């Protein structure tokens, strides 16, 4: 159904979409290439929510040359009036003759209607070219639209023997500068960087993107059951930080509000934060990708609750011994059948460290 030429142009559209990796949230990353008579006559990508979609940027470049062209699109064109008017209509009006998309838009406002509109206008529509790659690019957006929860990626920096900190909680500078820069790329693509109160009290992290260029900062979130966060914590920057707690202590909530943070009281039956409810709430806030950078307690609790999709583990080339802290506080297993299987997706060197990417299920 698809030729090598089709593959080449879709790969180009995917590379364009990737330029939006740090910028488009809560919208998906989308790229578009318009091809006529074997030549790319226009291309574009979606840069920021509220700004024109990929198709509109590509059509602006192509002008009249879009007539009779094939549009290669990493996501089905939208059919709804959102922050911007429907792209399907714009493509039809421009006289595009054929549409090749990588995947259907999982947004229930679109969900097949964009392609249907184009077909009704007599345009040839083909879907599914390089779909796996397109899904990877928008894994958080797709998870939120399909499941009402964000994609949860957990980052851990450890020694080769899997230790994240000394028992006296000294934990900084576990991995190399290369690995730390790599982590900032993970932060930059995330909508939220989340940590636990233990890490806030021990390390006072900023959780911002530094060392690399980005057009936006992710939101910080803290899981803080007893609302112990100091009002002068470094991560409180007045950017609407999210504090999830199980304790409705009004005075502290007001003090945090004055710091520009938002406290969400979401207790479970054990007076801890209802973690599954927290993820649903994040999806309501249009959060696509969450990066968890926490200690073994929150890490373990999230894994126990089945709320983690992906692990990104950096291993530094030294040993800390079995008295140092582990990655996940989990209940002791008595039977190997209870082990938690993951699938290794990627393995590579980052400077002197190893990066392992694994996924649950």
Residues that bind ligand AOF (CB under 6 A): 27-28, 30, 46, 49, 53-55, 75, 77-78, 82-84, 87, 105, 107, 110
The sign of the dihedral angle between the CA atoms of 258, 259, 260, 266 is negative
Residue 217 site contact among Zn ion, ligand AOF, none (CB < 5 to 8 Å, cut-off depends on kind)? none
The residues pairing with 290 across neighbouring beta strands, listed in sequence order, are 152, 192
Distance in angstroms (rounded) separating the CA atoms of residues 263 and 138? 28
Q: Which is nearer to ligand AOF, 35 or 316 (CB)?
A: 35
Residue 110 site contact among Zn ion, ligand AOF, none (CB < 5 to 8 Å, cut-off depends on kind)? ligand AOF
**53 lines the binding site for Zn ion (CB under 5 A):** yes
**29 lines the binding site for Zn ion (CB under 5 A):** no
Q: Which one of 18, 55, 76, 241 is the catalytic residue? A: 55
CB of 13 to ligand AOF, least distance (A): 11
**87 lines the binding site for Zn ion (CB under 5 A):** yes
55 is catalytic: yes
Residue 17 site contact among ligand AOF, Zn ion, none (CB < 5 to 8 Å, cut-off depends on kind)? none
Residue 295 site contact among ligand AOF, Zn ion, none (CB < 5 to 8 Å, cut-off depends on kind)? none
**78 lines the binding site for Zn ion (CB under 5 A):** yes
Q: Would you say 32 is a known binding-site residue? A: no
- From the number of C-beta atoms within 10 Å of its C-beta (0-12, 13-18, 19+), residue 349 rates as exposed
Strand segments, DSSP code E, in the chain are 31-36, 39-45, 70-73, 98-101, 124-127, 151-159, 192-196, 219-223, 242-245, 262-265, 289-292, 310-316, 342-350, 353-360
Q: Would you say 300 is a known binding-site residue? A: yes
Q: Provide the H-helix boundaries in the chain.
A: 4-18, 54-62, 87-93, 113-120, 131-137, 139-147, 177-189, 197-203, 250-258, 275-284, 296-304
Distance in angstroms (rounded) separating the CA atoms of residues 68 and 56? 16
**Catalytic residue list:** 55
Q: Would you list which residues are annotated within the binding site?
A: 53, 78, 87, 157, 171, 173, 187, 199, 203, 207, 210, 225, 293, 295-301
């Amino acid at each position: 159904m698809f030729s090598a030429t089709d593959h080449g142009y879709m790969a180009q559209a995917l590379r364009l979409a990737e330029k939006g990796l740090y910028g488009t949230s809560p919208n998906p990353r989308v790229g578009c290439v318009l091809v006529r008579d074997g030549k790319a006559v226009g291309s574009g990508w979606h840069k920021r929510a509220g700004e024109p979609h990929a198709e509109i940027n590509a059509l602006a470049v192509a002008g009249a040359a879009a007539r009779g062209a094939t549009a290669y699109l990493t996501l089905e064109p939208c059919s709804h009036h959102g922050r911007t008017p429907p792209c399907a209509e714009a493509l039809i009006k421009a006289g595009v003759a054929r549409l090749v998309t990588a995947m259907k838009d999982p947004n229930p406002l679109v969900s097949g209607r964009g392609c249907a509109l184009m077909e009704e206008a007599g345009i040839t529509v083909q879907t599914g070219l390089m779909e796996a790659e397109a899904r990877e690019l928008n894994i958080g957006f797709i998870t939120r639209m399909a499941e009402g929860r964000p994609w949860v990626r957990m980052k851990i920096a450890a020694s080769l023997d899997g230790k994240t900190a000394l028992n006296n909680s000294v934990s900084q500078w576990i991995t190399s500068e290369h690995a730390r820069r790599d982590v900032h790329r993970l932060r930059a693509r995330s909508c939220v960087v989340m940590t636990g109160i233990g890490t806030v009290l021990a390390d006072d992290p900023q959780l911002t993107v530094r060392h690399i260029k980005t057009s936006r900062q992710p939101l910080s979130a803290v899981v803080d059951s007893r609302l112990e966060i100091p009002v002068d914590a470094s991560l409180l920057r007045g950017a609407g930080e999210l504090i999830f707690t199980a304790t409705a202590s009004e005075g502290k909530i007001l003090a945090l509000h004055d710091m520009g943070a938002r406290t969400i009281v979401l207790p479970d039956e054990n007076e801890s934060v209802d973690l599954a409810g927290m993820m649903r709430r994040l999806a309501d806030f249009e959060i696509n990708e969450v990066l968890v950078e926490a200690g073994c307690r929150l890490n373990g609790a999230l894994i126990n609750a089945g709320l983690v999709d992906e692990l990104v583990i950096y291993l530094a080339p030294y040993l800390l011994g079995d008295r140092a802290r582990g990655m996940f506080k989990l209940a002791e297993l008595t039977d190997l059948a209870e082990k938690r299987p993951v699938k290794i997706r990627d393995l590579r060197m980052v400077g002197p460290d190893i990066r392992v990417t694994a996924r649950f299920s």
